[in-house]
Structures are given as structure tokens and as C-alpha cells.
């Protein structure tokens, strides 16, 4: 996995002799597919003056971050950060995602889930971790790539899509991506995803940003819920699933107290 020097990531394998996937190319942004347009729409700067915006900033109709730059997790809406037209500096408290992550992480080999990722320091609840990056493709292309419904790297950009509209784009992190490529599923994860807008307001092409949804201990694996819409309930018996094809294909190994045994329904 070729990786820029400033994003060097340590790899640890004490389980077997497996190597990282050679076909994965590191990218800290989107690799735009041929049928994906550039974001559209009108963008406005805020009227704030000085290096840092205050509570009256138009970009922050609702304050998403606290004074320490931590996400207010109780707010479920998307994040709108100051954009390139705004006069505030990169140190503005409303420029968290665009400043990038400052967390050193490593990729490690797990016992049952292949590769995983963890931080090399404790994380605070609400702390920004990284974006989900990869190849930006149309929804039609994503369905062709996932004909067997087995890919865990495809992520629909549907956070801002209403029931009346249909999703049009997706991110495929199988061949292009950053360390989020290695984030495994958990039924009780320590990461949460928010839609984020930085230099455009096109709802079809928003960013996906990971934040810690609770305090994370040093060395704890970083995980998110691949299918959060599924009810978090414990099956009555493991035997009820042994002959079920969905269970066999998407069996969950998170081993949390409320594990629902499958990653997808």
C-alpha cells in the first residue's frame, strides 16, 4: 500500500504471514470515477472577520464543535465547515475535518477479522479521527461491483438523501483509500459517521467523517457499525443461525455483549 511520507502507518502482524493487499493505493481524498460530476451549487462565505469565527458565524447555524474541537454528538445533523471563500484561518474552530487528523494509527492483524486499525494514543469522545476515502463512483456502478452483496468497502452517499429521492453515488474503498479501509464492523462501535461539507453544498457528494462516539482506550481497535439501521438485539440462540446463509456470509466477530451475530441483515 504506497503511502505518502507524512501519512506513514505502522503495520503489525503477530498472527500469521499475511501481507497487506498490494492492490490498495493510498489516497486521503476521493478518486473521481468517469461518470461522477464535480459538486454543483452556490457557495457563500461567512461574514466573520479575523482568524477565528464566533457563535454568529453563518456557516455554523448550529455549533457542531465545542471549544476543544470535539463533535457535539447529541446533534445528529450534517456538519458545515467554513469554506475557501471565508476569511478565517485554518485555525478557525469550524475547520476541524479539513485540518486533517493528527492521530497516529497502526494497522494490525486480528485473529478472526483480517486486518484492523487502532490509535496509538487514547481518543476523547467526539474527537475527529479521519475521513472515509476511496473511489467515488455512481450508484449504478456500485451495484455492478457488488453483484454478490459481499463487499464491505462500498459506502452509499445517502446521508442527505430523502425518501423521495434515490441515491446516486457511492464510495468504493477496496482499491483506493486511507486507513479507514481497515476499520472493522462492531455492533457496539467506538466510531460514528457524520456527513460533512467543506467547499461545496452539493448533498449528493458530501464527505464522510469518522468521530469517536465514546472515549477510546490506547490500543483499542477502531470500529464502526456497517449497518446501523439494524436493531441492536441479541439473537436467542446461535444455533438459530448456523444454517442461515446470511449468517454464514456476514457473520460478526465483534464479540461485544450485544452482538447481533451478523454485520448485515
> For the domain that residue 12 is a member of, what is the CATH number?
2.170.270.10
Give yes or no: residues 126 and 251 share one domain: no
Q: What is the CA radius of gyration of the chain?
A: 19
pLDDT at 105: 94
Give yes or no: residues 140 and 257 share one domain: no
Q: Is 69 left (phi over 0), alpha (psi -120 to 50) or beta?
A: left
Give yes or no: residues 235 and 147 share one domain: no
Give yes or no: residues 10 and 92 share one domain: yes
The three three-digit cell numbers of residue 211, written as one number: 468521530
For residue 182, the 8-state DSSP code is G
Give yes or no: residues 172 and 262 share one domain: no
Give yes or no: residues 62 and 175 share one domain: yes
pLDDT at 129: 97
Tell me the pLDDT tens digit for each residue of 47-65.
998 899 988 899 988 889 9
Give yes or no: residues 57 and 181 share one domain: yes
Give yes or no: residues 222 and 235 share one domain: no
Average pLDDT over residues 180-198: 95
Give yes or no: residues 10 and 135 share one domain: yes
Give yes or no: residues 241 and 138 share one domain: no
Check if the beta carbon of residue 124 is closer than 8 Å to that of residue 140: no
Q: Compute the mean pLDDT over every residue in the chain, rounded to the nearest whole number.
A: 86
Total count of domains within the chain: 2
Residue-by-residue DSSP string for 142-185: HHHHTTTS--SSEEE--TT--TTS---EEEE-SSEE-GGGGPEE
pLDDT at 261: 86
Question: Alpha carbon 16 to chain centroid distance?
Answer: 28
Give yes or no: residues 123 and 246 share one domain: no
The three three-digit cell numbers of residue 154, written as one number: 462500498
Give yes or no: residues 52 and 66 share one domain: yes
Cell numbers 483480517: residue: 114
Q: Which of 255, 103, 258 is nearest to 184 (CA)?
A: 255
Q: Is the pLDDT of residue 110 over 90?
A: yes
Q: Is the pLDDT of residue 242 over 70?
A: no
Range of the domain at 211: 1-226
Amino acid at each position: 500500500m504506497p503511502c505518502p511520507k507524512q501519512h506513514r502507518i505502522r503495520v503489525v502482524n503477530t498472527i500469521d504471514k499475511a501481507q497487506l493487499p498490494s492492490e490498495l493505493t493510498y489516497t486521503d481524498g476521493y478518486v473521481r470515477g468517469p461518470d461522477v460530476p464535480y459538486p454543483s451549487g452556490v457557495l457563500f462565505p461567512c461574514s466573520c472577520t479575523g482568524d477565528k469565527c464566533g457563535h454568529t458565524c453563518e456557516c455554523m447555524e448550529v455549533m457542531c464543535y465545542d471549544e476543544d474541537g470535539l463533535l457535539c454528538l447529541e446533534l445528529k445533523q450534517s456538519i458545515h465547515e467554513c469554506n475557501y471563500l471565508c476569511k478565517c484561518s485554518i485555525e478557525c474552530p469550524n475547520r476541524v475535518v479539513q485540518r486533517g487528523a493528527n492521530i497516529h494509527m497502526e494497522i494490525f492483524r486480528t485473529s478472526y477479522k483480517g486486518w484492523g486499525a487502532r490509535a496509538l494514543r487514547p481518543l476523547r469522545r467526539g474527537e475527529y479521527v479521519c475521513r472515509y476515502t476511496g473511489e467515488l463512483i455512481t450508484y449504478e456502478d456500485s451495484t455492478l461491483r457488488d453483484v454478490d452483496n459481499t463487499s464491505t468497502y462500498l459506502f452509499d452517499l445517502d446521508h442527505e438523501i430523502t425518501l423521495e429521492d434515490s441515491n446516486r453515488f457511492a464510495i468504493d474503498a477496496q482499491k483506493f483509500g486511507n486507513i479507514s479501509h481497515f476499520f472493522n464492523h462492531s455492533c457496539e462501535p467506538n466510531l460514528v459517521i457524520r456527513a460533512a461539507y467543506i467547499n461545496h453544498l452539493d448533498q449528493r457528494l458530501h464527505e464522510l467523517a469518522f468521530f469517536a462516539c465514546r472515549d477510546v482506550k490506547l490500543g483499542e481497535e477502531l470500529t464502526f457499525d456497517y449497518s446501523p439501521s439494524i436493531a441492536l438485539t441479541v439473537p436467542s440462540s446461535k444455533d438459530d443461525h448456523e444454517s442461515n446463509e446470511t449468517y454464514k456470509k456476514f457473520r460478526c466477530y465483534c464479540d461485544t455483549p450485544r452482538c447481533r451475530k451478523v454485520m448485515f441483515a
